[in-house]
Amino acid sequence: MAAVAVTESGQYRQGGTKYEIVQASREFHTLRRRFLRITIPVAVLFLGWYFLYVAVAAFAPGFMRIKVIGDVNIGLCFGAMQFVSTFGITLFYARWARRNIDPVAERLRNRAELRNRAEKGGRG
């Protein structure tokens, strides 16, 4: 890599851009797959869960009125569960990203910076 010069815009004169080189790396593949494998299904899940709630509220209000404890009914519990799931997903994602995304992203970033510096040095 060190033999390839870098232009102002970050384009490598030969081969792909520096981003394409990172994109093609095995580590980036792992990172991308990991990220999308969690975020997309979780997004589908919470959107589905939310629209289930909205649909039940709109089309089955009688079900929502069934009392659970005192005057607290299913609707209120269902709504409270939306809060719980939102808080839960937030906590889960924060922890998961800190453990599984941040270290890999940082490694890739540091490596790219090192390579950048080496190549700038080589050019001068």
Partner 1 sequence: MIRAAAAGAATSVQGVGKPIVNIAIFAFFVTVTLVIAIRVAGKNKTTADYYAGGRVFSGRQNGIAIGGDYLSAASFLGIAGTIALYGYDGFLYSIGFLVAWLVVLLLVAEPLRNTGRYTMADVLHLRLRAKPVRAAAALSTLTVSLFYLLAQMAAAGALVNLLLGVKSTLGQDLTITVVGVLMIFYVLVGGMRGTTWVQIVKATILLLGAAVMTAWVLTEAGFNLSSLLHHAAAASPAGNAVLGPGLKYGASTTSKLDFISLSLALVLGTAGLPHVLMRLYTVPDAKQARRSVIWTVWVVGLFYIFTLVLGYGAMWLVGAQRIEAAPGTADSAVPLLAFHLGGTLLLGSVAAVAFATILAVVAGLTITASASFAHDVYAGVLRPGDVEPRDEIRVARITAVVIGLLAVAGGIMAKNINVAFLVALAFAVAASANLPSILYSLYWPRFTARGAQWSIYGGLISSVTLIIFSPVVSGQINPATGASLSMISDPHINFAFFPLDNPGIVSIPLSFFLGWLGSVTDRRTSESARFARVQVAALTGISAERTGQVPT
Residue 43 binds to partner 1 (criterion: CB under 8 A): yes
Q: Which helix (H) or strand (E) holds 69?
A: strand 67-69
Number of other residues whose CB lies within 10 A of the CB of residue 31: 19
User: Does residue number 13 form part of the binding site for partner 1 (CB under 8 A)?
Assistant: no
Report the residue from 4, 6, 77, 79 that binds partner 1 according to the rule CB under 8 A: 79
Q: How far is the CB of 120 from partner 1 (least distance, A)?
A: 14
**In the complex, minimum distance from the CB of residue 1 to partner 1, in angstroms, rounded to a whole number:** 15
Non-local CB neighbours of 75 within 8 Å, separated by 6+ positions: 57, 61, 64, 65
- Return the structure tokens found at 14: 């030969």
Is 96 among the residues that bind partner 1 (CB under 8 A)? no
Q: Which two tokens stand for residue 9?
A: 């815009």
- Helix, strand, coil percent values for the chain (each to nearest 5): 75, 5, 20
User: How many chain residues are in contact with partner 1, going by CB under 8 A?
Assistant: 54
In the list 3, 13, 70, 121, the residue contacting partner 1 (rule: CB under 8 A) is 70
Q: Binding of partner 1 at residue 4 (CB under 8 A)? A: no
2, 5, 7, 10: which one contacts partner 1 (CB under 8 A)?
A: 10
83 binds partner 1 per the rule CB under 8 A: yes
Distances (CA, A) of 55 to 60, 68, 122: 8, 20, 62
- Is 53 a binder of partner 1 (CB under 8 A)? yes
